Amino acid sequence: MSHIHLPDGVLPLWLWVSGYALAILISAILFRFRKKDFMTKRFPLLGMMAATMVLGAAVEIIPIAYHVNLTVISGILLGPSLIFLATFVVNVILALFGHGGVTVVGLNTIVLSLEGILGYLLFRLFWKIFRRLTPAAFLATFLALLVSTFAMIGTVALGTTHYEALIHHEEEGGILGFELGREKKEHLEAEPKGHEVNLRRFMTIALSLGFIGWVLEGVMTTLILKYIQRLRPDLLRLEGHSP
Amino acid sequence: MMQLSYLDYSAVEGKSWLHRLPAIVKMVGAGFSLCGVVFLENLPGLLGLYTVLLFLFVTSRVPRAIFSLTLYPLIFAFLFIFVSGFQIRFILLIFLKVLCGSTSVVLLLATTPYPAVFRVLGKVLPSLFVTALFLTYRSVFILLDTLEETRHALYLRGGFQWQHPWRSLVNIANAFGHLILKGIDASERMYESMVLRGFEGKIRYRGEKNRD
């Protein structure tokens, strides 16, 4: 639910350009301090985990329009810096198939990597507290998804004026949507109230469906991590856990 | 996602005029189309763009089965029906934007082999990013094969049954776990073979000069 599924042309230009700029800036900072050798060795694993995330996102649970992100698992296995690049790559590939617009890739990268990094950090923290995989994995996933869903809603809310402009846009207004901000605002103020974007409704839908999704993904992540712990505990690099 | 290999087959084996065009020309075309999706805000303009894309789709003789891939993103667009307060014009606008975006990209990938796309991207984007993108795209094909085997195994163990939700969830989670572990094994083998072929952090494409 935290993945922004908005198509191109819906978010305002300043918002998605800022998303790209921020994502590029974070990547530049993260990889400036990484050794080339480290990256070269981890590339195939990064590719595989990113591919798993792509496949996870392709499995849509139709009744609630939800798909698992597998970002928390990838975050745990890849670590915080590689998960950022992995989410960037995943979002580019998903955008190529219309799963979220190409212009939303930067924002999606920030939201999803926040989920992955937070998942990684929370998992380590809860492992230290509980020393048991089930509560650590479930709570880390649930909380990471909760935060990233709010980040997604916040991002979508930033573009409300633009959606309203799209709804109220008149056919005779020209082929391209270049209008001065002031004129757009005046035009919107003149419109009746009933035609506004219902952000509260969007939030209600996103949070209620999201809640089912967080629980589902929390359970899935826990079960997958338990499976990995049984067969390849070395991959989880857990402190004080003897295989 | 299962149609990805079909898409790749069409890109390599296709012989239409669009297949023969240089990758850079098609990528610039797809870029213009995406600009249209971003900036066009009226229905006739988007409808015109979609008609042009459909015309290209038909004349490039891309298999019709691939067309369903262009409709897949509509699943995510349905939320706009509620967000807009059932404004027909807005819903149509969003649906057309979705269809134009997905059709132009599917058209590009169905007529251009992916190494050619990555080769062009490698000229404008950082090698770190393009290498990660290339390996991920390659890994999707490897994982799709594993997924096919896993699906059979899952089916034999009961698969997904609504009357047994917990058991089904465990089965699906085990399948994903299996997929991840197989993927990691494959990535380790892939890294060894890449190193044997001289990989040093950057993938080089056929005909590319070594500038290091």
Question: Who has greater pLDDT, A108 or A197?
Answer: A108
Structural domain for A138, as ranges: 13-158+198-235
At A192 the pLDDT is 45
pLDDT at B8 over 90: no
User: Which chain A residues are closer than 8 Å to B43 by Cβ?
Assistant: 171
Residue B113 Ramachandran class (φ > 0 left, ψ -120 to 50 alpha, else beta): beta
The pLDDT-based confidence of A174 (bands split at 50, 70, 90) is: very low
Q: Domain count for chain A, please give it.
A: 1
Q: Is the pTM of this model over 0.90?
A: no
Mean pLDDT of B89-110: 87
**pLDDT of B127 above 60:** yes
- Closest residue in A to B136 (Cα) is A47
The CA dihedral of B156, A51, A116, B182, to the nearest 10 degrees, is: 50
pLDDT at A169: 59
Residue A114 to residue A124: CA distance in whole angstroms: 15
Interchain proximity A178–B39, CB inside 8 Å: yes
Number of domains comprising chain B:
2
Let me know if residue B212 belongs to a domain: no
B59 in a structural domain: yes
Centre a 10 Å sphere on the Cβ of residue B122 and count the other Cβ atoms it contains.
21
Q: What is the pLDDT of residue B83?
A: 64
> Is residue A27 included in any domain, yes or no?
yes
The answer to whether residue B130 sits within a structural domain is yes
Q: How confident is the model at residue A65 (pLDDT cuts 50, 70, 90)?
A: low
CB contact under 8 A, B39 and A197: no
**Over 50: is that where the pLDDT of A177 sits?**
no
E-only strand ranges, A64-122: 66-67
Nearest to B173 among A97, A173, A220 (CB): A220
How far does the CA of residue B149 sit from the closest CA of chain A (Å)? 15
Q: How far is the alpha carbon of B208 from chain A, nearest alpha carbon, in Å? A: 20
Q: Is A65 an interface residue toward B (CB < 8 Å)?
A: yes
Bridge partners for A61 per DSSP: A66
Asked if residue A158 lies in contact with residue A117, where contact means CB atoms within 8 angstroms, the answer is no
Within-domain flag for A6: no
Cα Rg for chain B, rounded, in angstroms? Answer: 21
Q: B122 vs chain A: nearest CA distance in angstroms?
A: 14
Is residue A112 included in any domain, yes or no? yes
The boundaries of the domain holding residue B114 are 2-118
Picking from A121, A153, A165, the residue whose alpha carbon sits closest to that of residue A140 is A121
Subunit contact B170:A8, Cβ cutoff 8 A:
no
pLDDT exceeds cutoff 50 at A183? no
| Domain contains A82 | yes
pLDDT greater than 60 at residue A41: yes
Q: Is the pLDDT of residue B201 over 60?
A: yes
Q: Is the pLDDT of residue B166 over 70?
A: yes
Partner B, chain A 142-201, Cβ-Cβ below 8 Å: 163, 166-167, 169, 171, 173-178, 194-199, 201
Asked if residue B102 lies in contact with residue B72, where contact means CB atoms within 8 angstroms, the answer is: yes
Q: With bands split at pLDDT 50, 70 and 90, how would you rate the model's confidence at A61? A: low
CATH number at residue A227: 1.10.1760.20
Determine the Cα–Cα distance for residues A19 and A1; give it in Å rounded to an integer: 19
- Residue B110 amino acid letter: A
Mean pLDDT (chain B) is 83
Residue A152 lies in a domain: yes
Per-residue pLDDT band for A176 (boundaries 50, 70, 90) equals: very low
Instruction: Report the share of chain A in percent with pLDDT over 70.
Output: 79
- Indicate if B87 and B191 belong to the same structural domain: no
Burial profile A99-127: b = 16 or more Cβ within 10 angstroms, e = fewer: bbbbbbbbbbbbbbbbbbbbbbebbeebb
Q: What is the mean pLDDT of residues B106-126?
A: 87
**How many angstroms separate the CA of residue B207 from the nearest CA in chain A?**
23
Residues B60 and B33 in one domain: yes
What is the C-alpha to C-alpha distance for residues B174 and A225, in angstroms, rounded to an integer? 9
Question: Could you tell me if residue B112 is inside a domain?
Answer: yes
In the DSSP assignment, the letter for residue A6 is P
Half-sphere exposure of A104 (CA within 13 A, CB side): 29
- For residues B68 and B51, give the distance between their C-alpha atoms in angstroms, rounded to a whole number: 16
- Helix axes A199-231 and B165-196, enclosed angle (nearest 10): 70
C-alpha closest to that of A54 among A3, A111, A17, A119: A3
C-beta separation of A98 from B73 below 8 A: yes
Q: ipTM, 2 decimals? A: 0.82
Q: What is the pLDDT of residue A138?
A: 95
> Is residue B73 within 8 Å of residue A7, measured between CB atoms?
yes
B38 closest CB neighbour out of A8, A55, A65: A8
| Nearest CB to A220 within list B77, B169, B181 | B169
Question: What's the alpha-carbon Rg for chain A, to the nearest Å?
Answer: 20
Instruction: Point out the residue among A5, A9, A56 whose CB comes nearest to the CB of B39.
Output: A9
In a domain, A5, yes or no: no
In a domain, B139, yes or no: yes
Confidence band of B55 (pLDDT split at 50, 70, 90): very high
pLDDT of residue B147: 82
The average confidence (pLDDT) of chain A is: 80
Taking only the tens place, the pLDDT of each residue in A93-152 is 888 777 778 888 999 999 999 999 999 999 999 999 999 999 999 999 999 999 999 998
- Of A116, A110, A130, the closest CA to residue A82 belongs to A116
CB-CB under 8 Å, B79 with A97: no
Phi-psi region of A59 (alpha: psi -120 to 50; beta: other; left: phi over 0): beta
Residue A243 has pLDDT above 70, yes or no: no
